[in-house]
Amino acid sequence: MKLSYFPGCSLESTAKEYDMSARSVCKALGMELVELEDWVCCGATSAHSTNHTLSITLPAKNIALAQELGSDLAVPCSACYNVLKKTDYTLRNDENMRGKTEQITGFKYSGEINILSLLEAVVTKVGVKSIAKSVKKPLQGLNVVCYYGCLLVRPPEVTQFDNRENPESLDNIINSLGARAIPWAYKTDCCGASLSLTSADIVQKMVGRLMDAAKEAGANAIVTACPLCQSNLEMRRQKGDTGIPAFYFTELIGLALDLPDTGRWFKLHLVDPLPLLNSLSLAR
């Protein structure tokens, strides 16, 4: 099974372990990822916050590239996914914007490519049952709160994936790995996102309430599917929060599949997950 792959800017730098684990895990699960050649930045929050036209035309370039390759497009970063999916939705439904975009970018929109978050791709193309069968090392003892963040399931008419208030797709994956996905009420509460650099104090309060809730729920780990969420969860905790490690969901799948390179991913975390994994005899 083949999918086009849009890593996005963060996966080349601050979220390198997400890229490494995503590629490794997809390969192990039989999903071939073909990186879009010469992909461009999706524009993220900065484009849609300052220039509506640019927020459509810039990501449209990537949709054009995906059209050329012909396969559905898997996007690991939630923000990139949301931007690309919104762009696709706009090009599909707004004739005026489609015409303007086609004129600026020079491609003809076909609407044939589906844009999927990597989480959605793993859930719908591989499936939880298949993942469960591939587990070699059940992640027993890992009590995980699943932090979906804002952009995987909202706006609901655009993403059309999972439940907007209480999504369960990631919880199902985590449970299939032998870990325990703990119910909690903060699955889709914003971490503060790109305010991290400009308004660190605000993000610290937002992350603080998430970490407090995770602790109250009895979690020893938090799992996410977004580079910005993961880095906020690691960097913007309250001072002195010895806290729980923040994983990318692909890292936990890789751990359960007993892939050889998991150690390299965990070394890149700012909050070391090895003490926890060692205590549960889960590290290699």
Taking CB under 8 A as the criterion, which residues in 71-90 touch other proteins?
A: none
**In this chain, which stretch among 55-63, 133-141, 175-183, 212-220 interacts with other proteins, using CB under 8 A?**
55-63
What would the DSSP string read from start to end of 224-240? ES-HHHHHHHHHSSPTT
Options 1, 2, 12, 183; binder of other proteins; rule CB under 8 A: 12
List Cβ neighbours of 43 (8 Å cut-off, separation of 6 or more): 54, 55, 58, 59, 83
Which two tokens mark 59?
A: 């990501």
- Output the smallest distance, CB 201 to other proteins, in A: 9
Q: Please select the residue that binds other proteins; options are 27, 92, 267, 284, rule is CB under 8 A.
A: 267
Whether the CA torsion 26, 260, 265, 250 is positive or negative: it is: positive
- Residue 104 makes contact with other proteins by CB under 8 A: yes
Q: To 10 degrees, what angle do helices 52-69 and 95-105 make?
A: 70
Considering all CA atoms of the chain, what is the largest pairwise distance in Å, rounded to the nearest integer? 58
- Count of residues that interact with other proteins, criterion CB under 8 A: 52
Q: Please give the residues from 147 up to 206 whose contact with other proteins meets the rule CB under 8 A.
A: 150-151, 154-156, 164, 188-190, 192-195, 197-200, 202, 205-206
Question: Does residue 43 belong to the site contacting other proteins (CB under 8 A)?
Answer: yes
- Distance CA(132)–CA(225), nearest Å, equals 19
Which two three-digit tokens encode residue 182? 């703990």
Residue 101: which residues within 8 A CB-CB, separation 6 or more?
56, 57, 60, 91, 109
Of 84 and 139, the one with the shorter C-beta distance to other proteins is 84
Member of 5, 21, 22, 48 binding other proteins (CB under 8 A): 48
Is 57 an interacting residue with respect to other proteins (CB under 8 A)? yes
Token pair in block for residue 62: 């990537």
Which residue, among 39, 22, 29, has the nearest Cα to 1 in the 3D structure?
29
User: Which span sits near other proteins by CB under 8 A: 41-49, 140-148, 171-179, 211-219?
Assistant: 41-49
Candidate ranges 9-17, 23-31, 131-139, 169-177; the one touching other proteins (CB under 8 A): 9-17
How many residues in total does the chain contain?
Answer: 284
54 scored as a contact of other proteins (CB under 8 A): yes
CA 242 to chain centre: 24
Q: Does 212 bind other proteins (CB under 8 A)?
A: no
Q: Does 67 bind other proteins (CB under 8 A)?
A: no
**How far apart, in whole angstroms, are the C-alpha atoms of residue 28 and residue 249?**
15
Backbone angles phi, psi at 221, to 5 degrees: -155, 155
Q: How far is CA 265 from the centre of its chain?
A: 16
**Contact call for residue 237 and other proteins (CB under 8 A):** no
The smaller minimum CB distance to other proteins, of residues 32 and 94, is found at 94
- Told to check if 257 binds other proteins by CB under 8 A, we report no
| Minimum distance from residue 90 beta carbon to other proteins (Å) | 10
Alpha-carbon gap, residue 207 to 218, rounded angstroms: 17
Do 233 and 257 form a contact (C-beta atoms < 8 A)?
no
Residue 237 CB, nearest approach to other proteins (Å): 12
Contacts with other proteins, residue ranges (CB under 8 A): 9-10, 12-16, 38-41, 43-54, 57-58, 61, 104-105, 150-151, 154-156, 164, 188-190, 192-195, 197-200, 202, 205-206, 235, 267-268, 270
